[in-house]
Amino acid sequence: MNPQLLAPAVSYSTQVLVIGSGAGGATTACLLAEAGFDVLIAEEGPWVEQDTVVPFSLEQMDRQYRAGGVTVALGLPSIAYTEGRCAGGGTEVNSGLYFRPPIDVIERWRRDYRIDGLDLDELALIADQVEAAINVTTVPGSPTPASEVLRRGAAALGWKHSEIPRWMTYPPGGDAVTGRRQSMTRTYLPRAAAAGARMVTDCRVDRLVREGTASIRAQVSYASGLRGEIRCQFAFVCGGAIQTPALLQRSGLRRHIGRSLAVHPTVKLAARFRDEVNIPDDVPVHQVKEFAPNLSFGGSASHPGLVALALSDHWSEFASAIEDWRKISVYYAAITSEGRGNVIAVPGLRDPIVTYRLTPRDRALLRSGMARLALLLLEAGATDVYPSFRGAPLIRHRDQLSTLNQQFAVSKASLMTVHLCSTVPLGEDRSRCGADSFGRVHDAGGIIVNDASLLPDAPGVNPQATVMAFAIRNVRHFIDTNGPSGG
């Protein structure tokens, strides 16, 4: 059962407004509705059925990403990042790889940020429930050829590697390419609808206005151009690590909001093999964790357009390779960055300005990551390796890796990230936390954050499972302290 999609209207009212419908917003809306709250979900993007777009295609980027998938955190160098902008948020467009919340990281967060009531056993139980709800599983049968490349190269080098499970269902006798993503539009949003939650899409919340101690007015604008308002008692802001702090700042909330953006910067390269390896609408499920948590290797989406993008930094020399795209796949090296960035809402601009600064240690890790990734792929049988930085050399033999290492510079590389966190860190340390231990924005009444913004720093793995676990924990605390009548 899909949510009841409401038509644009000048005025709506609800007990709880949930802004955003990704990993944080969908779980928030679901649990609140199932507990008896009157819930309205406001989603800035459209509802797009999964089967109507090809995964990782240019059409999907146009329909389900913000700005067509091209947004940039300014810096030296700048870092491109992606945001899902549709019902289900990033869960509709990401790789679907699942990592349980890293206990050692969460324990450090609890200590350093003074997060009250953070029970590690509770988070583990929540993770069990999430994994059942979204059907976390490994691929039946053999992985794709592009994934096998990572396994084969790591095995040859003696590096730690494993298959990462995904939230997928597979038909009987299915294989790696027959899975159906168990995103929020297939799991938690239908549950929310069954419990009575309503949803309005193509609806942007521009500003939250607090009116007294028990009333919030959300000023909204629709894709049609209509403007209106949604009145509520509580507002859960779940727009992601960029849009959540931007909305809070536009609403006059700025203390420790948007000042501590953390990401996992990545460098990429394309590799050509003797046989066909490219599966355009899937991603490799193997990852190499020999140097984790500082450095990890994996495979990217390799739609022909994305292969061309990976070759574009030295197009004059690499362009001819695109004709052989079926034998080419794209891979990445991701680091756990010590750098930080800012999200700044500027009056008169629709989107915030985002900046990010890498540390010298980050730059050294990215250089090491590019060279080690090239080595990994050569060991896996790559005939040609095309690093993604301006003026990069074509790599065909191990003895060319020293040249790669010498010529690489972060300032010449096409850096990107898909993991964005930490812009409203939670905790009781008011010298750096924008929200309390359960996501309530400090001194903001009924405004609560419940998405990746709350994670105190980038966890070193795909953060979605951690986001969902924290979101469910926070909602349960809210339910315990605020009954459906408002408490």
Catalytic residue among 161, 256, 419, 477, which? 419
Give the relative orientation of helices 103-112 and 120-133 as an angle to the nearest 10 degrees: 130
The answer to whether 256 is a known catalytic residue is no
Q: What is the 3-state secondary structure (H, E, C) of the chain?
A: CCCEECCCCCEEECCEEEECCCHHHHHHHHHHHHCCCCEEEECCCCCCCHHHCCCCCHHHHHHHEHHHHCEEEECCCCEEECCECCCCHHHHCCCCECCCCCHHHHHHHHHHCCCCCCCHHHHHHHHHHHHHHCCEECCCCCCCHHHHHHHHHHHHHCCCEEECCEEEECCCCCCCCCCEECCCCCCHHHHHHHCCCEEECCEEEEEEEECCCCCEEEEEEECCCCEEEEEECEEEECCHHHHHHHHHHHCCCCCCCCCCEEECCEEEEEEECCCCCCCCCCCCCEEECCCCCCEEEEECCCCHHHHHHHHHHHHHHHHHHHHHHHHEEEEEEEECCCCEEEEECCCCCCCCEEEEECCHHHHHHHHHHHHHHHHHHHHCCCCEEEECECCCCCECCHHHHHHHHHHCCHHHECCEECCEECCCCECCCCCCCCECCCCEECCCCCEEECCHHHCCCCCCCCCHHHHHHHHHHHHHHHHHHCCCCCC
Active-site residues, by number, are 419
